[in-house]
Homo-oligomer: A and B are copies of this chain.
Amino acid sequence: MSDKRKIAEAVITRLSIYNRALGEIGKEGLEIISSDELGNRIGYSAAQIRKDLSCFGEFGEVGKGYFVQDLRDVISHILGVDRKWNVALAGAGHLGSALLAYPGFKQWGFNIVAVFDNDLAKIGKKWESIVIQDISELAKTVKEQDIRIGAIAVPPQVSQEIVDMFTSCGIRAILNFATASITVPEGVKLRNVDLATELECLSYFLTNEAEVRSEVLGKIKNSSGEGG
């Protein structure tokens, strides 16, 4: 297929997951894999995987499956992760410092090349070889360092301000860790990592679904069954 029509965000999310799984599978030495096998490993249906891939082209060998390395290269290219991206981080608190120290980012090709804060005690300090800058230097640094992605790890009260600063200096992709409802202009992609919501979903499940199940389990004693 591979027309240029709107691809659902859920498809992209899954592509990323397929890609990671393919990496693991490749390390195991497997050269070819069917949509069925891949699906079993990561908990998606074979049909789902084939449909998702069909948005972008035909990458499989009929009767055989997908060449692991080839498919990985294709998906990496689709996702745009066959290159490096420079990232600016706003907020040098607990979360910010953990993100900076976390080796995953660089490993995946996302380099945090600048960190900003408004705390005078922090500005000028060196962290993981990066000097924390005053937020007022944002626009200049974004231009100089070709930064395309902004990460936000500031208190909720100031998160919208940071978003506005990011977008007004040309950043079109934002990863937000602040627990606040922020808005971005048309043409800017925002992804929220919302720990409060994640925990609250778990809380809902424990309160409304798991308990019911455990009552049932209690009644049928201890048959170790997960059947549902």
Contacts and interface: CB of A to CB of B under 8 A. Distances in A.
A158 interface: no
A185 B43 CA distance: 12
Interface in A80-131: 80-81, 85, 94-95, 97-99, 101-102, 104-105, 108, 110
A183 B226 contact: no
Interface string A127-149: 00000000000000000000011
Contact of A98 (B97, B173, B202, B207): B97
Contact of A210 (B43, B173, B179): B173
Contact of A201 (B12, B85, B99, B227): B12
Query: Most B CB atoms within 10 A — which of A9, A110, A183, A196?
Result: A196
Interface stretch (A15-23, A29-37, A46-54, A59-67): A15-23
Contacts of A20: 179-181, 196
A101 to B, nearest CB: 4
Contact of A183 (B43, B148, B174): B43
B21 A181 contact: yes
B181 A41 contact: yes
B149 A202 contact: yes
B173 A16 contact: no
A207 B78 CA distance: 8
B213 A187 contact: yes
A191 B201 contact: yes
Contact of A108 (B17, B95, B191, B199): B199
A53 to B, nearest CB: 14
Given A13-B201, A21-B181, A95 B102 contact: yes
Contacts of A101: 94
A149 B217 CA distance: 19
Contacts of A209: 189
Given A21-B181, A193-B198, A206 B102 contact: no
